[in-house]
Amino acid sequence: MLSYLLRRLGLMVLTLFGVSIAIFLLLRIVPGNIADILFDSAGMIDPAEKQKIVAELGLDQPLVVQYAQWVNGLLHGDLGYSYVSEKPVLDEVLPRIPITARLAALAIMFAVCTGVPIGVISAVRQNSGIDYGLRVFSLAALSLPSFWLGLLVLMAFVNWAGLLPIYDKAPQTWGMAILMYGVPAATVGLRSSALIMRLTRSSMLEVMRMDYIRTARSKGLSEPAVTFIHALRNALLPVITTIGIETAFLFGGLVVTETVFNIPGVARFLVEAIRWRDYPMVQNLVMFIATVVVIVNLIVDLTYAFVDPRIRLGS
């Protein structure tokens, strides 16, 4: 188990190193930089002034030096200053992380708590009316664009409840918090729920045809025991993979949802930073999202070892 963990940790470090290089280089390949934007927006025409801005921002240094300074700052907790707001990057990013984390956590909780049980029901009741209805519903949920569904939810709340569940300030009560976070979380989690439901169903159907399931039934075990103790646990490995992928996707892919519901989270702020070519902000936000993805993958790998003894004992 220890060697398995060490291999995964080593792979995580190598992945983060490669991602940091890709983030740094890709951002420099994009035409235009923050000096051009600041120069043009201020209406300056003196090239000497522009060169002064480039020097102040450190853009005249070799890429290797810029990359080394950035990584050294990351390791020491110094993420630099935003070129646009002229504030420390940490001061801009830290207040937004809990907002996106709450939204992503609620969305994945909704997806898991609805997708897995519904998938099990659909598999147990294969080819029944319930199964066909759930499969049609999952296909519809997978087909709905999140921004369109979000707009429909907003219009429904305005029409039926006279409320607009958008984020205008930090919620002061539990009711407001549920409204401000729960509604967008359920909206964005619906697609993940449908995906988890379909994968749970297909994995359960495959497992329930195995010989050990027939053996368990022949021993007189009850159907719930066969379904949830023997079948579901062995069907969870591909489902855990999907849950991990969806968790990582939700944390960095909430741009549309945060925009529709006016949520000041990390994903929405990242788009604004990219538009301004704010190098420190974009680099650190993307690196943060990449770190979350890698950590989630590590948690998924460790969950594999917990669920499947073959991985734990074989390592």
Per residue in 190-202, pLDDT (tens digit) is: 888 999 999 999 9
How confident is the model at residue 118, as a pLDDT?
Answer: 92
Q: What is the pLDDT of residue 197?
A: 92
Q: How confident is the model at residue 169 (pLDDT cuts 50, 70, 90)?
A: low
Classified by CATH at the fold level, domain 97-275 comes out as MetI-like fold (1.10.3720)
112-139: b (≥16 Cβ within 10 Å) or e: bebbbebbbbbbbeeeeeebeebeebbe
Q: Provide the pLDDT confidence category of residue 289 given band limits of 50, 70 and 90.
A: confident
Which of 74-78, 86-90, 201-205, 242-246 holds the top average pLDDT? 201-205
What number of other Cβ atoms are within 10 A of residue 163's Cβ?
A: 11
Indicate the domain borders of the chain. Answer: 97-275
Give the confidence band of 237 by pLDDT, cuts at 50, 70, 90: confident
Phi/psi for 81 (5° steps) reads -115, 145
pTM of the model: 0.76
23-37 pLDDT, tens digit each: 888 877 766 666 666
Q: What per-residue confidence (pLDDT) applies to 164?
A: 61
SS3 (DSSP) at 22: helix
The C-alpha atoms of residue 88 and residue 99 are separated, in whole angstroms, by 19
pLDDT of residue 309: 66
